[in-house]
Amino acid sequence: MALLAPFLLTDGRLPVGAHTYSAGLEPAVAAGLTRAGIPDLLRARLHTGAVTEAAAAVLALRAALHDPVDYDPVQGALAARTPVAPLREASAALGRGVHRLARRLAPGHPAVTALAGLRPRPLRPIALGALAAVLDVGEEELARGIVYDELQTIASAALKLLPGDPLDSVAWIVAAEPEAEAVVTEALAVRTPADLPARTPPLTELWALEHDRRERRLFLA
């Protein structure tokens, strides 16, 4: 299972609700972003939300391997670094899907049962860390999977929001690979919840608030 697990974590067809999320692309498009700006958005997301979520997931994985399992410090640190309510709510909604999958695969696993005690619901990176523990996914594989998922989420959403040549999506991700690897390295170097990066860009937060008030939208955020 450990050989297949990293592929499962990064598969957009995994039934955890990821299809409802655009990683900030839809709000950015509503604010005027064009296809030409997507590579810049990818780089910006890598060095802000992606590195924070990857580091939080790795910290959650480490916590999942201790007895007793205590996710509260990293959950609290991540929530503090996600100050805009719609973004926290989107993360919790996605976390619920991951938690549901983890319960199906290993309902009695300590890493899974500890998620149920989090209030409010576990945020997505925390649930992914628990799922990684269940599937025996290593820290580097987990961090790389989350970083890749951020890139792929935006690239896939672009096909619906800013239609164009689908091959562009592949080219964007390949071009971002060096920076993506640097972000993985940075995420793995975070040792405590207090060290979790806090780099949510103000525009992303503003767009998320505006997006939450829209009546017509394709994605949660």
Q: What is the pLDDT of residues 172-219, one digit of tens each?
A: 999 999 999 999 999 999 999 999 999 877 888 999 999 999 988 999
Backbone torsion region of residue 64, taken as left when φ is above 0, otherwise alpha when ψ lies between -120 and 50, otherwise beta: alpha
Query: Which has the higher per-residue pLDDT, 156 or 3?
Result: 156
pTM, two decimals, is: 0.95
At residue 1, the pLDDT reads 66
Gyration radius of the chain over CA positions: 16
- Please state, in angstroms and rounded to a whole number, the distance separating the CA atoms of residues 197 and 176: 20
Q: What residue segments make up the domains of the chain, in order of their start?
A: 46-212
Q: Give the pLDDT confidence score for residue 18 in this predicted structure.
A: 86
Average pLDDT, the chain: 94
pLDDT tens digit sequence for 62-74: 999 999 999 999 9
The CA distance from 120 to 76, in Å, is: 10
Of 2-11, 154-163, 168-177, least confident by mean pLDDT is 2-11
User: Residue 9 pLDDT > 90, yes or no?
Assistant: no
pLDDT at 5: 87
Condensed to tens digits (0 to 9), the pLDDT of residues 19-51 reads 899 999 999 999 999 999 999 999 999 999 999
**pLDDT score for 13:** 85
Return the minimum-mean-pLDDT range out of 13-22, 84-93, 128-137: 13-22
Tell me how far apart the terminal alpha carbons of the chain are, to the nearest angstrom: 32
Q: How far is C-alpha 107 from the geometric centre of its chain's CA atoms?
A: 23
Task: Say if residues 161 and 41 touch (Cβ distance below 8 Å).
Answer: no
Count the residues in the chain: 221
Q: How far is CA 109 from CA 6, 8, 116, 133, in A?
A: 19, 19, 12, 9
Three-state secondary-structure class, residue 220: coil
Q: What is the spatial distance between Cα 9 and Cα 26, in angstroms, rounded to a whole number?
A: 23
Tokens of 219: 């994605």
> What's the pLDDT score for residue 208?
93
Percent of the chain with pLDDT over 70: 99
